[in-house]
Structure 1
Amino acid sequence: MTTSPPSSKDPTHDPIFGAIRVTLDAEQGVLTVSGEKIPTVALVRTNDADTSDHIPIGTRCARHLSLTLDGSPARIVPSRGRILRRSYRVDVEYAGVGYRLTPDSMGSSGLLKDGIAIGELSSPGDGSVLADWAEEAEVLPQDAAVGYTLAAAFGTGAQPFWMTAVEAASNMIP
């Protein structure tokens, strides 16, 4: 099941959870995700964080980020985002459940819940998100809310290591 991309005014339509609104204010460092059938999630960046334009929320530093799900705090730990795909993973712990969003192709990332794949998400980094939920998985409203939040806040996908290595090597040749 794939969601349709949002227009500039319309929310994304998720086939399981209905309308989902993703609002990203990159300049202020605030992302909110809300919808008909999902809890509201807020991800906020502190004002003193060093920001980077290639990260939609502006930083991958956990101490500069706070995450709440329906008003309750959740623990968020983004990895540094360097050479290997797995270095772009983002972990969240909420109410005893562990989530991980990790790139698995150039444009998309898989969402794991307690180590089990529950969906594939893609976001170009502009706040829009497409979700494809695994048919065999039981995807709960909080799962979708966390997935949309992580994809919108950090983008999805990453180059494979070999491509990054070739690019680095070609940049060294005069």
Structure 2
Amino acid sequence: MYVQIDLDGPAGTLRVTGHDLPTVELVRAPGATVNRLVPIGTRDRAALTLTVDGRPARIRPARGRLLRRSYRVDVRVDGTRYRLVPCSYAESRLTRDGRRLGRLESSGDGTVDADWETGAGVRPRDIAVGTALAAAFGTGASPWWETVGDIVGELIP
């Protein structure tokens, strides 16, 4: 399935479209503090507006700290819960209402590679929302013990 990703990090806009896909748009509020490590520019939920097929959806990115789980992004669209959470250095897992849909990989450059689970019943909206989240926030994260080691290493002269 063809997916078009239009990410403009400096402007804080993302649009995902494609044949038979609902349009997903994520916009960073004007004047919001920009975090250059996040492709869309922020993890502040108050500074983000998400729409799926023109209807508002709720987005709740976690703060992104020590644990991989702290980089998760939760979305609710018409009663359906999506979660994108890192599962390796480079990949994140997408679930819909707790059911695993696939693994996505994006380095934050506006491209996303997806490996959808066979038999998971992946729908066009799943693909559009998952692709948008991966493009907007990137995927993957280091394990907590490696992060702690890096911090300790920085403290030792």
Does TM, scored on the shorter chain, surpass 0.5? Answer: yes
Superposed CA offset, 1:70-124 (max 9, x none) = 1000000000000100000000000110000000000000001001110100000
| CA shift for structure 1 position 48 | 1.7
2:101 maps to a residue whose letter is I
Partner of 1:64: 47
How do 1:79-158 residues align onto structure 2 when only pairs under 5 Å count?
Answer: 79-158=62-141
Q: Between Structure 1 and Structure 2, how many residues are aligned?
A: 157
| CA shift for structure 1 position 136 | 2.1
| CA shift for structure 1 position 37 | 1.9
Instruction: Please report the TM-score for the alignment, with normalisation by the length of structure 2.
Output: 0.99
1:89 maps to a residue whose letter is R
Partner of 2:4: 21
Instruction: Please report the TM-score for the alignment, with normalisation by the length of structure 1.
Output: 0.89
- Using the alignment, how far apart are the partners of 2:15 and 2:131 within structure 1? 10
- Using the alignment, how far apart are the partners of 1:37 and 1:139 within structure 2? 13
- Using the alignment, how far apart are the partners of 1:110 and 1:172 within structure 2? 33
Partner of 2:28: 45
- For structure 1, list consecutive stretches of 5 or more residues without a partner in the other structure: 1-17
2:80 maps to a residue whose letter is V
- Using the alignment, how far apart are the partners of 2:149 and 2:111 within structure 1? 30
Q: RMSD of aligned C-alpha atoms?
A: 0.5
- For structure 2, list consecutive stretches of 5 or more residues without a partner in the other structure: none
- Using the alignment, how far apart are the partners of 1:35 and 1:159 within structure 2? 32
Q: From 157, 161, 164, give the equivalent of 2:144.
A: 161
| CA shift for structure 1 position 69 | 0.5
1:112 maps to a residue whose letter is T
| CA shift for structure 1 position 19 | 1.2
